Amino acid sequence: MSMITERPAQGRSPGLKEAAPPAAGTTARRDIRAVLMAYVSLTKPQIVELLLVTTIPAMMFAAGGRPDLGLMAVVLVGGSLAAGAASALNCYIDRDIDQLMRRTKRRPLATHSLTPRAVLIFGLSLAAVSLVLMAALTNWLATALTAAAIVYYDVVYTLWLKRRTPQNTFWGGICGAAPVLIAWAAVTGTVAPIGWALFAVVFFWQMPHFYPLAIKYKDDYARAGIPMLPVVRSARRVNAEILIFTVLTVAASLAAWPLGMGPIYGGTALVAGALFLLEAVRLVGRSRRGEPLNAMRLFHWSITYLTILFIAVAVDALV
């Protein structure tokens, strides 16, 4: 059920004075603000925030405590620009399907708030600035990983995998977990085994994180012709993958413990992992019993889990 709040195109109620038009200066300010907000929305700030949750703790642990603040600022700014570039280019590539899906129909290109050319230039410019910044102030490995993450997300995932295979979320998880490797490489010039273990945590985590979202918007993806797993496979298959990848996420988090983490991290990984797995089991149980899923509960819980786990990484680095 929805309320129709749109104002009629013509006419007004008797006895009411016609509203005075807004001042020209006010309209101009509103237009500028709307355009700026449209460009900001292209970068998908929520995704950038989530990437920073893993980047800062990874840098801290790689440095054995507090990394150089200048280097941290460079990686945070460069990483945010790279993530924003990848998201903007994603919006450019997906402009044909975004207007078909309820979840994405308010994006700037779907609403024609910006032109495709402007978005393409914006995305490429952000990518160029991020890579120049990383190349000038970090090292070749961190820069190469940043470039690879942008290309992988937009070319391999968005252009190819997303529209062709139900395993798109699995393979797309590589670029989602890349910030951990980039952060580690920026500090040390290489990636230690524990860095790869944390990469594995974020990589496996993306399936139980994203599948609930795909369940909720299953009809959207079907309408756009995107073969997300819940669209083209049975609920039984989706349930199995949610459980398997939740177990692998928790296993990867525990594998990082003996590689150099301390008891604070270990205890947190055990407790948070058990709660995360319990939430996944509850979702699968509701699905098998034919009850309302409330899939977004697991989606939000997955974010809480990852945040708590990487806070423990940061704390362990400081004690």
Q: Output the tens digit of pLDDT for each of the chain's 319 residues.
A: 443 333 333 344 333 344 445 555 555 566 888 889 999 999 888 877 777 889 999 999 999 888 999 999 999 999 999 999 999 999 999 999 998 888 888 999 999 999 999 999 999 999 999 999 999 999 999 999 999 999 999 999 999 999 999 999 999 999 999 999 999 999 999 999 999 999 999 999 999 999 999 999 999 999 999 999 999 999 999 999 999 999 999 999 999 999 989 999 999 999 999 999 999 999 999 999 988 888 999 999 999 999 999 999 999 999 8
Distances (CA, A) of 244 to 139, 210, 231, 257: 36, 14, 19, 20
For residue 116, give every residue at least 6 positions away whose Cβ sits within 8 Å of its Cβ, in sequence order, or none.
92, 95, 109
Going along the chain from its start, the domains and CATH numbers come out as 34-189 (1.10.357.140), 192-318 (1.20.120)
Read off the pLDDT of residues 157-169 as tens digits, 9 standing for 90 and up: 999 999 999 999 9
Residue 318: closest CA among 17, 56, 4, 37: 56
Sign of CA dihedral 51, 53, 55, 58: negative
Written as six digits, the tokens of 9 are 């195109």
Residue 297: closest CA among 233, 208, 181: 208
Determine contact, residues 288/239, Cβ cutoff 8 Å: yes
pTM over 0.85: yes
Q: How far apart are CA 183 and CA 177, in angstroms?
A: 11
